[in-house]
Each structure stands twice: as C-alpha cells, then as structure tokens.
Amino acid sequence: MSMTILLLTTGALVFISAAVQHLNTISARGLSFVFTDRAVPLSREGFAGRAARTLQNNLESAGMVLPVALVLLVNGVDNALTLLAALAYAAVRIGFTLSYWTGINRLRSFFWGLGMTMIAVLTIQAALLIVPLP
C-alpha cells in the first residue's frame, strides 16, 4: 500500500506541476501561444521560472524514486520503514512543490533534503533484496 501511495503521489505532482506551468503560460502569453512553435523561450524569472524549475525537479525526483518504488512493490516489501519513508516522501514533495511555487527557499531546500533522504532509505531497502545483510 505504501508504494502505491508513493507512486500515485509522484505521478500527481508531475501532472499538477505541468498543469500549473501550462496554465501560467496561458495566462502570461495567451492561449494562441500554446499553438506556436515556441521559438521565443518562456521567461525563467518570477513565478514562470519557479514553475518550470518545480516541474523539472519533480521529474528528476520521480526518476530516482519510481524505479525503487516499483522494485519494492513487485517484491511485496511493505514494512514499517518503507511505509514511513513513502508517506514522508509524499508529504515532503508536496511541501517542496508548494514552497518552490511560493518562493520560500529555505523551506524548499529543507523539503528537498528530506525527500532525498527518503529516496536513500527506500533505495537501501530495495538493495537489501539483492544483497541481504548477514
């Protein structure tokens, strides 16, 4: 169950981040801009830049956590540690996304660090499937 929550949250955050970035682009450039070749790059300043970087970071984080979560899910690993790590990861990535959008940098960095720690915990749990402790 914990890996299912993690997988769904990760996918939802990427989708929501993309949707927010897209809606911001429409509000800034108009709907007609969406149908162009976008030869003129979008601004990387202000909210537009934060929205783009939030999406990029959520994609990078997903790339790290999804393989591990799938290994744990397929192998039926669902213990107290993976539950805690998965729920913490989901919560801190939501916090990361909101703090990035609002420009609260210290909180964003704190959430990023906690998320990376949870990825490490889950990765170690998956690695123990391959090389169990003696």
Q: Find the mean pLDDT for residues 109-120.
A: 98
Higher-pLDDT residue of 40 and 106 is: 106
Q: Is the pLDDT of residue 35 over 90?
A: no
- Domain holding 47, by residue range, is 2-130
pTM of the predicted model over 0.85: yes
Q: How far is CA 47 from CA 11, 24, 80, 112, 118, in A?
A: 22, 8, 38, 19, 28
pLDDT at 114 over 90: yes
36-40, 61-65, 68-72, 88-92 — which is least confidently predicted? 36-40
Per the structure, the count of domains in the chain is 1
DSSP string, 48-94: HHHHHHHHHHHHHHHHHHHHHHHHHHHTT---HHHHHHHHHHHHHHH
The CATH number assigned to the domain holding 64 equals 1.20.120.550
C-alpha dist (Å) from residue 27 to 24, 35, 39, 42, 97: 5, 14, 18, 12, 20
**Average pLDDT score, the chain:** 93
